[in-house]
Amino acid sequence: MGEAHRSAVSVIEVDGLCVDYGVVRVVDDVSFSLGEGEIVGLVGESGCGKSTLGSALLSLVAAPGRIASGRIRFEGQDLVGMPEADIRRLRGQKISMIAQDALAVLNPVVRVGPQVGDVVSDHVDVCAAEVEALVLDTLRRVRLPRPELTMRNYPHELSGGMQQRVVIGEGLMLGPRVLIVDDHTTALDVTVQSQILDLLLGIRDESGAAILLITHDLAAVADVCDRVMVMYGGRIVETGRVDEIFDAARHPYTRALLASLLPLRGEPPEQLAALAGQPPQPGELPRGCRFHPRCPLWSELARPELCATQDPPLAVDADGRGTACHFAHLGGGEATRSPDRG
């Protein structure tokens, strides 16, 4: 876990964000901010609302989804309710998203150079020669070997790691202040994953961009993030600095996620812990704390009625440490095995 890069300057601020699909709420009352030059990890099981939250920051929630309430403040403006034409001017230029499936994002019948160049042409009035020079510089920046050749390739002619670098290059073309990275290591081998993580660190150090890293990979979070947010059932249930969360997680869900990891150092346990059950489906949330039916602590405490009747709020202290659990003070102080790759 590296030195924290938390800045006092907030680049984007999210307050009470709710996203609905019809009558079903999939993101519920989420608030956070990203500081300049900060990398924040967003983790949780599939179906918890992570990708929907990332898409909402760019007003890219697919129909019939919609942002039901809340605010997204960026450069003094509220992006919620902003006209589509104004949002389009921000996408790719000020706020960019790197999607999880690079090959699905890239157009299979257009060469890489023109695809990446379209990002510039959509926002800036420059000549073809300037666009080509910018594309070439960007492909070098994301450490693609032989970028002149890559520009002439079709996406299917590239490896998975090269495709991911091209998509990252598209997101960086115009120097965005906020970069949303959605499950960037999907289908990549561990060596390429490590290279992509190093690339993201370099981007942060070079540009000062704020990065929201949406991932299932807790080891990646330990490696590169400054803060982490844990999401369950559409809500943030724990947040804090990476060292705080990995050394002494307070929420039973966070502790269960960490306990399921195989340590890369020392003696492995005889049996990894496994969290029983599945996350609740949107629209089928249990009454009370939405984690309580799977919660080991709830069972250990003889199933207190409080958990089954009242949904705990995310209580955040002055240092930014927050936990949404009625009994977070119980059993949360023990050291948690760190999965860092160090």
Q: How many domains does the chain have?
A: 2
Separation between Cα atoms, residue 16 and residue 160, nearest integer Å = 37
- At 231, list the tokens: 């999401």
Residue 118: the pLDDT is 87
What SS3 class is residue 3? coil
**Domain range for residue 281?**
249-323
Residue 264: the pLDDT is 55
- Tell whether 288 is covered by a domain: yes
- Cβ–Cβ under 8 Å, residues 178 and 74: yes
Which helix (H) or strand (E) is 16 found in, with range? strand 10-21
The tens place of each residue's pLDDT in the chain, 342 residues long, gives 445 555 568 999 999 999 999 999 999 999 999 999 999 999 999 999 999 999 999 999 988 999 999 999 999 899 998 999 899 888 888 999 887 777 778 999 999 999 999 888 877 888 888 889 999 998 988 888 899 999 999 999 998 888 888 988 888 888 889 999 987 666 567 777 787 788 888 888 888 899 999 998 888 899 899 999 999 999 999 999 999 999 999 999 999 999 887 665 667 666 667 788 889 998 899 999 999 999 999 999 999 999 999 999 998 998 889 999 999 888 554 434 444 444
Separation between Cα atoms, residue 72 and residue 61, nearest integer Å = 14
β-strands 322-323, 315-316 pairing:
antiparallel
- At 228, list the tokens: 């982490």
State phi, psi for 111 to the nearest 5 degrees. Answer: -65, 160
- Tell whether 117 is covered by a domain: yes
Separation between Cα atoms, residue 267 and residue 51, nearest integer Å = 35
- Tell whether 63 is covered by a domain: no
Instruction: Specify the residue for token string 């699905």.
Output: 104
**C-alpha dist (Å) from residue 105 to 90, 112, 155, 195, 324:** 19, 12, 10, 21, 36
Please spell the DSSP secondary structure of 48-87, one letter per residue.
SSHHHHHHHTTT-PPTTEEEEEEEEEETTEE-TT--HHHH
Which helix (H) or strand (E) is 222 found in, with range? helix 218-224
- Tell whether 39 is covered by a domain: no
What SS3 class is residue 187? coil
- At 319, list the tokens: 């240092």
Residue 341: the pLDDT is 42
- Tell whether 267 is covered by a domain: yes
User: Which residues are registered as beta bridge partners of 238?
Assistant: 230, 323
Separation between Cα atoms, residue 32 and residue 249, nearest integer Å = 19
- At 83, list the tokens: 């006209």
Q: Which of 175, 191, 206 is the last residue of a domain?
A: 175
Helix, strand, coil abundance in the chain, percent, nearest 5 = 35, 20, 45
Q: Which of 157, 175, 193 is the last residue of a domain?
A: 175
Q: Which of 127, 153, 175 is the last residue of a domain?
A: 175
User: Which residues are registered as beta bridge partners of 19?
Assistant: 27, 67
Instruction: Specify the residue for token string 């009558």.
Output: 23
- Tell whether 35 is covered by a domain: no
For the entire predicted model, the pTM comes to: 0.88
- Tell whether 159 is covered by a domain: yes
Residue 142: the pLDDT is 85
- Cβ–Cβ under 8 Å, residues 67 and 18: yes
- Cβ–Cβ under 8 Å, residues 168 and 98: yes
Please spell the DSSP secondary structure of 240-253, one letter per residue.
EEHHHHHHS--SHH
Residue 6: the pLDDT is 55
- Tell whether 139 is covered by a domain: yes
